[in-house]
Every structure is written in C-alpha cells, then in structure tokens.
Structure 1
C-alpha cells in the first residue's frame, strides 16, 4: 500500500486545457448545473490544499456552488459516471501513446464500518475499502481511467446494508483478483479503445482462471506471477515445474535489456516458452533481474513473439503508475471520499481521474511553454 505523501499546494492547471477537457468529458451529463458542478469539483480537487473535503472543494468556487449542492451532486445525484469514464479513456488514448492498461490496487483505511465495501480483510489491522484502478500507461505519461470497488459478501448478502449504500442489483460476489480482471476487461474490451495488453500483479491469484478470462475476451496480458507458479515447458517434457526452476534453467541465456533511465547492464532477462498445466496455448515466461545479486521477477504473457526486452519494458510501466499515484492521484484526494453510497464513491474517483488528467497534461503544456 502506498503511504500518504505530503499534500501538494495545488496541482498545476492550464486554464485552456481545463476548459477543453471539462467541456468534452462532462458534455454527456444531462443538465447544465451538473456540468458546472462537475467542473467546480475538479477545480477544487486541483486547487484545495490538504484533505479534499466537500467544504474545501466548494470554497474554491468562491460561492458559485454551495457545500450542500456539491455534496448532493456527488453522493445523491442521478448522473451516470460510466459514460464520463469512457470519454476520458478515449480522450487520454487520443493524446498519449498508450502502451498498456495497468491495473493498480488501492487500500483505503476507514475509521468506521459504514462506508460502502468496508471490511476487515485478511492481514488488515483496521477497516478498509479495497479497490483497483485501471491506468492508461506509457513512458510519456500515466493516468487512471476507471475504478472498481471490491464488495465483500458481508455487503452483498446483507439486504439492509446493500439498500443503504444503494448497491445495484447486478453487482455480484467476486474475488479480489476477479475484481481486477473485471475492471481491466471493461476498459480493454468494451469501450472501443486501442487493443493494448493488460499488465498487473497476479502473484496471489489463480493464474489459470485469470488467463482464461482474458483469452476468452481476446485481450493480451502480461502477468507478474510467483516463483512457485507451476508451468510446463514446451519441448521439455510433460511435467509441471515451478517458475523459478524454469527460469533458472535458462539463466545462462540472460541478456541485457534496455530500460529507459537505467543502464542496460543493470537489467537482464531470459525467456522460456511454456504452457499452463493441462493447457495447449503457448506463453512466454520471462525472468527479469535488476542488478547482479537480485532475485528475478517472473512475468508470464501470451505475447509470445514480443521478445524479453519488449515485455520487460511493459512491466516497468507498473513502477511509473505507482510513481504517478504517489505524486499526483493520492494528493488529489482519491482516498478522501467520506460518503457511504456506492455511486457516490464511483463519482468521486471518476472526478479524481479527470483532475489527474488535467494536472498531468497541464504539466506537459506548462513545461513546453516554459
């Protein structure tokens, strides 16, 4: 879990870009007052200092929108956040050369038990919400375009809790890993976006179950897997072998790979073609070492012809996403929503995604102008 950074004193904002982005993204909202409030909310996320309470966000508007009006707009209004996300994803894909959709988990500690989805999960010392964000990622820039909140069974099976949080009937039980897959498939397969691989950490997941869903949707993947993941080497017999042993067997084939911003000698990789136990489709397992004495990372992909260097380059996007989360997204208040409704949470994180896009693109514009 990323720790909370010191809150920035307002993110950079290019006013022309802000107006253009809000005009395009919020054009799908049915009423003029909703479009105005959406822009006020995003401006508040960008400019208010410290924790992004509704009071602070409303204060940034100089009285144009009341605290009560802004609270109602996010927590109790009827506007649909889904079209806003789809338009945002298409906008970002049009201005940034998206190389992959990166899935990033997010834990949101909570003091009480009433926020939608809050649970005391395994290993957690206090109540928390668990969510995943899907990021458009490239070396040129990263930004969240969609989110999914994991809903534990204690929320789905309790009719009273479910009703108070207005959890929709179609929301069903899924594992944490299933939550991540569902979120990424919505972006990668349902919004008419460029076909790009999905990258995420599957070390605690059932790799076979994850791969099955992505292949059924025709979406390529690059998964970080555990060293004990059982795989079958193509041409090496029918036995199942742990990933660490398969990679150790090709260790002598390690070659330097280029990673932007690092010396190529620091990063080496080797690959072996494998199958999942009982499967027929071929995958490539890549071992990636950073430094001489380090243990390798293990990455599994159905992009068999891509080559180790290309797959290592894609895997490094996870670090860029983590960096932007700590530098921008967390400071924009993605974990600051205190309402209790399912739609309210989704509206808030959607508007944070818009604020992130404004901040990241403004940095580029202002840097170029300077």
Structure 2
C-alpha cells in the first residue's frame, strides 16, 4: 500500500503515531492491518466499511486486503479498551497543552440498523433519526477542553428486552460474541461506570461532568457523580421538583410523648416543592442576563439565562437531612414562549453564572465528536454483527480521530485550511475494477453490445464501466470529498 500524503512530515508523524499505538494490539502481525485500517478511515470516500476501504487501499489486490481487514476488525482478539488507552496517552498531552481539560461529557449515539441479528439492535430512540427505530446505541465519555475533545470510553448498550432474551439463548449470545460478564445495565449505569473508571486513571485530568437531561434527570446519576467527589452540570426536565430559594423541608421534630421520635424530614404546611418550569416562569425580569458563551460559525452564540441557589426536593420525605444546595441554571431565549433548557449543578456557591453557562454549553463538543466520527471517519459504517467487531471498529475510528486532533493542534491558526490528509493510492497500469469487462477479450458474436433498441434507457449514450470505488472511478474523479484538518 503506497499512500500519497499532502507532505512528507505528516507521513512521518502518521507512521510514528501508528507505531506508538500498535503495542496495544498485543502481536506484531496486527501492526500492518492496523495501519491499513486507520489509513482507510482517513482516506476520502463515502463508505468506510471494510470492502470499500480495501478497494481504495489496495486496488490491485482487493480480495486479500478485504480478508485481512475483515479478520483484523471482526475476529482478531485484541483489546479495544487497550487501544483506547493508548490513544489517550498519545493525544491527551497535546490536547492539554492547547487548553486545560474542563469537562467530562457523557452521552449516547445511535446507529440505524436493518434486521434483528446485530448485537444490541432493537427498536429504541435513535438520536441520528430523531425518533424510535431499529438501531444500536453506544454510550461514551469524552474529555473536553474549550478547544478540543477526545472520546476515552465506549460501550454498546444492550436493551433490557434484548439482554433478557439472549441471556436464555447461549448459542445466540456466543455467536454475537457477547462476553459472559456483560449483563444488562442502563445507559446511566454504563455512564457512571465509565466516569468511575476515568476518575481512577491518574493520567486523565479531572473535569466537571456534563450531561443532557437523558442522564441528569436521574437523581441516582447525579448522586453517583457526587459520590465520586466530582462536580456536575447536568440537564434536567422542566418537571423536576425543587424548593424555591430560601425554602426547604423541616427537620424531624423532637418527640413530646411516649411515641417513637420522628426521623424523617417534613414538608411545611404553607410551602411545597414546585417544578423547575414554575420557578422559571415566576422570575422577574432582573433575574435574566444575556450571556455569550462562544463564537459560532455565523457569529457569537448568546441567550438569556438565570441562576438560582436552591435544594432539590426528590423524595426528601424519605430522608433525615435536606439535599445539599445546588445551582439551577435556566435558559430562556428571546422570542421563545417558555424556557427551553434547565440544568442542576453542584458547583460551589461562588460560581458565576458565566461559568455555569460555559460548562453547560461545552456539551456541544461530544456532539461534534459524534458528527465527525460518523461523517468523516465512518463510525456508523461497520457492517458486522458481533460485539467484538462493533467495539473494534469504534476504537479504530477513535484512533484515526486522535491523529486528526493532533494534526489540528499542530497547525497554527494561520496555517492552511482545506488540506486533504491523504490521496488515494495510484492505480496500477492495466487495473480493471471487479466486474468490469475485459477489453482484451472479443465480444460474444451473438450479442450486439452497441446496438441497443431505442426504447432502452440511455440508448445511444456511451456508458463507463461500473467501479467498486464510490462515488465513481478514482481515475476520473479528482473532486470527491476530502478529509480536512481544519
């Protein structure tokens, strides 16, 4: 495989990067398919599944390249977790030199699927489609600064119905390659496990845990993060019940007689918890501030926000002490009829509203991770059905993404934009795509290939042979999408 880089220095950095990660694969024989797979993900092309990549990487020996990549991603017993750790070690120093880590962002992303045999596939909410549909869903954790972010943990979610059904079918579970120690866990539980793992890694700088309401609305998630000694800015729903500022439950009263003393909190007769939406709609105009949090493509991003210090009211009648005080952050954009977003944050009382907004809005970085991993690196293009291949392909995409991040960080703001990382390898002389006619062979005498009846589509027009390389033969198309470094 002879790849054409945009410059020799970058080619050397790619080789050094791949060599540095290859030790995580456990065997020298895996180094070459690893290098090829990562290069295939970085090459231009609409599809980043195994066969199209093999055709782009080795047009003269597609079948052999296809088998090599297919075995490497789907069957070879290397650890996806070990590769992700190696990527982290290689990329985080550059990321933190650029800007300090501020947030750990948790989220999940869906992959639409047809059929029912792929591991973890079920009818569930798919964010990519914005509706319930047949898909796989993975939960991930990204480490983020104001300038960059990197996924450091990744796991497929197994829906409860799927896990329950397949737990009774050992043969089907074995065929999918689901490890014996993998049992049903909610997305929240998976996210907490990833956060706990990251908290135990000394080389991952601590950050504020940031999530949307899919995670933050669960009290157990927020408690789990706090129990790890971490702060959070977690999205909640408008119906979440809270005490108004200055209000709260009553402490248990002392016993005045022979009865059992009270041990749980009581609600005052003249006060009750209210929803976050009710609190927001009751605020006066002077509570709201217009805050800009970053520059967008079309200009500064800004909105109206309010922040209140208060206590959650979740099941506090079962407790003997009130919940600790937290920040409620509310966003109500101008022109909207009601608030659009709410967050709870256990940051200190002296935290500014600007800081709260900045952290809450850093969640866009994981959305950018997902978008670039899917659109540019083919994260959703894996066509296998097994657990191992699903996680291997994701880890390889993140490895390629890590190289891209390092290159972006190395390029100064005044550096070149719109520069493709790689060009497709040159086709060998006499190359013929699979399925194309052999020009050296005579046409069958009984078939008049160039005398099609007029009623046929395209009659009278000369057609080119179909190529395996999408969208068209690379010898003729030099303008297909390139993978940019900025």
- Give 1:245's aligned residue: 278
Q: 1:355 and 1:183, CA in 2 relative to 1: closer, same or farther beyond 3 A?
A: same
User: Aligned runs of 1:76-95 on 2, under 5 Å?
Assistant: 76-95=75-94
Asked if residue 303 in structure 1 is aligned to residue 347 in structure 2, the reply is yes
Matched, 1:235 2:246: yes
| SS of corresponding position for 1:261 | strand
2:34 is the counterpart of 1:38: yes
Aligned partner of 1:256 in structure 2 is: 290
The 3 A distance-change label for structure 1 pair 217 and 89 is same
1:161 aligns with 172
Counterpart for residue 6 of structure 1: none
Structure number with greater Rg is 2
Does residue 216 of the first structure (1) align with residue 227 of the second (2)? Answer: yes
Q: What is the deviation of 1:323?
A: 3.5
* 2:23 maps to 1:27: yes
Which residue in 1 is equivalent to 2:149?
142
Alpha-carbon distance between aligned partners in 2 of 1:330 and 1:135, rounded to the nearest angstrom: 18
Contact 1:285 1:299 in 2 (8 A): yes
Partner of 1:162: helix, strand, or coil? helix
Please report how far the alpha carbon of residue 250 of structure 1 lies from its aligned counterpart in structure 2 after TM superposition. Answer: 4.2
So what's the TM-score if we normalise by structure 2?
Answer: 0.67
- Retained in 1: the 8 A contact 2:47–2:378? yes
Q: Does 1:117 align with 2:120?
A: yes
Runs of 4+ that moved beyond 6 A? 10-13, 262-265
Q: List gaps (5 residues or longer) in structure 2.
A: 250-271, 317-321, 417-486
Q: Give 1:235 deviation, angstroms.
A: 2.1
Q: Please point out which of 356, 361, 366 is paired with 2:406.
A: 361
The Cα of 1:281 is off from its aligned counterpart by 2.0
Q: CA offsets, 1:48-98, max 9 Å, x none?
A: 401112122233443597211211111111111112212323433311232
1:266 positional shift: 3.7
**Aligned residues between the structures:** 361
Residues 321-364 of structure 1 deviation map (CA, whole Å, 9 limit, x = unaligned):
32343245433111111112112111110111111122233244
The 1:205/1:172 distance shift into structure 2, 3 A limit, reads farther
Separation (CA, whole Å) in 1 of partners of 2:278 and 2:388: 46
Farther-moved stretch of structure 1 (201-210 vs 276-285): 201-210
CA contact (8 A) 1:43 1:60 kept: no
In the TM superposition, residue 203 of structure 1 has moved relative to its aligned partner by 4.2
Query: Using a 3 Å threshold, how does the CA distance of structure 1 residues 264 and 348 change in structure 2: closer, same or farther?
Result: closer
- Structure 2 vs 1, CA of residues 330 and 265 (structure 1 numbering), >3 Å: closer, same or farther? closer
2:211 to 200, 209, 215: 200
Contact 2:91–2:405 at 8 Å: present in 1 too?
Answer: no
In the alignment, what sits opposite 2:396? 351
1:206 to partner: Cα distance: 4.8
Deviation at 1:276, TM superposition (A): 2.6
- Please report the TM-score for the alignment, with normalisation by the length of structure 1: 0.87
Please give the secondary structure, in 2, of the residue aligned with 1:179.
Answer: helix
- Whether the 8 Å contact between 2:102 and 2:206 is mirrored in structure 1 is no
- What is the Cα deviation at residue 296 of structure 1? 3.9
CA change 1:187–1:265 in 2 (3 A) is: closer
* 1:75 paired residue number: 74
| 1:73-125 Cα deviation digits (max 9, x unpaired) | 11111111112212323433311232212223211111111111001126955
Partners of 1:144 and 1:196 lie apart in 2 by 14
Q: Which moved more, 1:335-344 or 1:260-269?
A: 260-269
Are residue 285 (structure 1) and residue 285 (structure 2) matched?
no
What RMSD in Å do the two structures reach over aligned CA positions? 2.8
Q: 1:327 to 1:30 in 2, by over 3 A?
A: closer
Q: Is residue 266–residue 292 contact of structure 1 (8 Å, CA) maintained in 2?
A: no
Distance 1:254 1:17, change over 3 A: farther
- 1:193 shift after superposition: 0.9
